[in-house]
Amino acid sequence: MVYNGAMAGTKRVRRSVTLPKPVAKQVESMAKRRRLSDNRVLVELIELGIEAQKQREKEFFELAERFRGTDDPKEVKRLGDELGRFVFGE
């Protein structure tokens, strides 16, 4: 979901954030390339991050549900390993 002005009627809240210098440079570069303000780029990146997090949570719960619903020992092991990687990484 990319910010496209659809939220124009929504109330805005001002926030102040401190970015690491390399991140700030990336944001500035993206904004310049796309001819947008730094703020607009930050809003888009935050919205994309929120959507990605929601999708990840959804995938986790679907995987957990499959894990709880199976009786096959091989499938239990496979799904358990997959859940472990999901939670703790490789």
From the list 73, 57, 16, 64, the residue with the least C-alpha distance to 39 is 16
In the numeric block, which tokens belong to residue 69? 């619903």
Contact criterion met (CB below 8 Å) for 45 and 68: no
* DSSP at 36: -
pLDDT surpasses 60 at 1: no
Side chain identity, residue 85: R
Give the model confidence (pLDDT) of 32-86 as tens digits: 999 999 999 999 999 999 999 999 999 999 999 999 999 999 999 999 999 999 8
Q: Where are the domains of the chain?
A: 21-88
Helical ranges in 3-72 per DSSP H: 21-34, 38-69
